[in-house]
Amino acid sequence: MNIWIFQTGEPLHCDDSNYRPMRAINLSNKLIEAGHDVVLWSSSFNHQDKAHRSKKYKVIRQNNNLEIRLIPSRGYQKHIGFDRLIDHVQLAWNLKKILKVEKTIPDVVFIGYPPIETAAVMSRWLKERKVPTLLDVKDLWPSIFVDAFPAILSPIVRILFHPYFYFAKRTIRDVDGISTMSLGFLNWCLSFANKSKSVNDRVVRLTTLNSEANISELSSAELWWSELGVNPDGPKVFFTGTFSTAFDFNQIYIAAKSINSCQFILCGHGPCLDQVKELMRDLPNVIFPGWIDRFQMESLANMSLATLAPYKNVKNFTLNIPNKIVDSLLLGLPILSPLTGEVESLISNRKVGFTYNNNNPLASCIQSLVDDDKLQNLMSINAKRLYEEEFEFNKVYGGLVDHLEGMVIKK
């Protein structure tokens, strides 16, 4: 089959940067493994590096089964802002021009959403040609635009963003099926667009391929941690990711101040890193190692009690199973998170960690793991089992490949 994937904002096979694969690369590889030809459409602007892969439309023949098409746009320097919105409009406009002269008709298409604009252009073009299409919804755009403003301004903001609401709903209605990372997300999409559930709708878990680190690589990583002052034997919890407004580190500060015998390793970079460092400046048990690679993360996990997933309780996360949760399951560690909704249910029903809040402070959750080795071990075992049952990489992407093939057969 000739299968198209449209996905922006992710690393691509043609990138030199050492970012971990996401939907675009993972699904492309699995489809090729199954014997299909893939055309991967994306932006010429690299979201991770904030740099252009190309200044004009470019087609890259990556190998015999993979072609990458890069659509030009102006780019932007901040994750959030009008520059990014303008970039997406331009990207959609250029995509529309390119599709006007496109002669090839794919067998089935997988569209990453957001951006709204490009998803709207691509889905309408495919609908007109009766091509089976699966829309992969990963963020609650445009509702999160409105949620970012004070409630008193919501009616005005909703009017200003009306075109986004119109195109978002139209896109969801245009496609043959919706895939999301959780049932809560799927139900939200159907309700948002006033659309009935389809046999093509599917929950496709966010997941990542397990590491193949060897003993030498792990030993090297352990030495690196030791040189940073990480105690291999003492209790520790860690966070790894982008320091952004998506997270709240205040409860971590309170816990770190309360349990000075436990080390808190906060890994990564991002726009809020300096702010978090300032918050933790008087706490010697908090370490900021910067960005870490997969081997360093696996080594750290082997020494740690649990992972921290301090997401803010906003709808985009409470209806979802975010990637930090999946990472913790893959590493076989208990999850410490304040999230309600889908994550709280997962933690409670599968006994894979603690949901912390004002009534159950993070410090108390950590202390429970410090005091009870059997509890920590049980939660670790449960986390590994849950990953294997619902999030295992080959199950997730093998199932998605089967699903896309099935959409063609049912056409």
Q: Parse the chain into domains and list their residue ranges.
A: 2-207+393-409, 215-391
Q: Which residues contact 146 (CB under 8 A, 6 or more apart)?
A: 154, 157, 158, 161
Q: Enumerate residues 6+ apart whose C-beta is below 8 A from 87.
A: 45, 73, 74, 75, 76
All residues at 6 or more sequence positions from 385 whose CB lies less than 8 Å from its CB, including other chains: none
The matching CATH number, chosen from 3.40.50.150, 1.10.1200.10, 3.40.47.10, 3.40.50.2000, for 2-207+393-409 is 3.40.50.2000
Contacts with 408 (C-beta within 8 Å, 6 or more apart), sequence order: 1, 107, 108, 132
Q: Using CA atoms, how far apart are residues 82 and 164, in angstroms rounded to an integer? A: 14
The owner of tokens 């849950």 is 386
Distance of CA 83 to the CA centre of its chain: 22
Dist CA 282 CA 271 (whole Å): 21
CB of 77 within 8 A of CB of 83?
Answer: yes
CA 156 – CA 27 distance, rounded (Å): 39
Contact 88, 73 (CB under 8 A): yes
Whether the pTM exceeds 0.85: the reply is: yes
Specify the pLDDT at position 411: 65
pLDDT for 19: 75
Q: For strand 45-46 and strand 236-242, is the pairing parallel, antiparallel, or unpaired?
A: unpaired
State the Cα–Cα distance between residues 84 and 139, nearest whole angstrom: 15
Q: Which residues contact 383 (CB under 8 A, 6 or more apart)?
A: 328, 329, 331, 332, 333, 334, 335, 352, 353
Q: What is the CA radius of gyration of the chain?
A: 22
Assign a CATH topology to domain 215-391. Rossmann fold (3.40.50)
Q: Which residues of the chain have pLDDT under 70?
A: 17-18, 211-212, 411
pLDDT at 144: 79
∠ CA(274), CA(241), CA(136), 5° rounding? 130
pLDDT at 231 (0 to 100): 92
Q: Are 203 and 180 in contact (CB under 8 A)?
A: yes
Contact status, residue 309 vs residue 337, Cβ threshold 8 Å: yes
Count Cβ atoms below 10 Å from residue 294 Cβ, excluding itself: 17
- What separation in angstroms does the CA of 282 have from each of 58, 234, 276, 367? 50, 20, 12, 21
Is 390 in a helix, a strand, or coil? helix
pLDDT at 276: 97
- CB 362, CB 332: distance < 8 Å: no
Structure tokens at 43: 């932006």
Angle at 274 between CA 272 and CA 280, to 5 degrees: 105
Q: What is the pLDDT of residue 212?
A: 67
What are the phi and psi torsion angles at 313 (to 5°)?
Answer: -80, 75
pLDDT score at 217? 84
| Per-residue pLDDT at 152 | 83
What's the CA gap between 249 and 265, in Å, rounded? 12
Question: Using CA atoms, how far apart are residues 280 and 256, in angstroms rounded to an integer?
Answer: 9
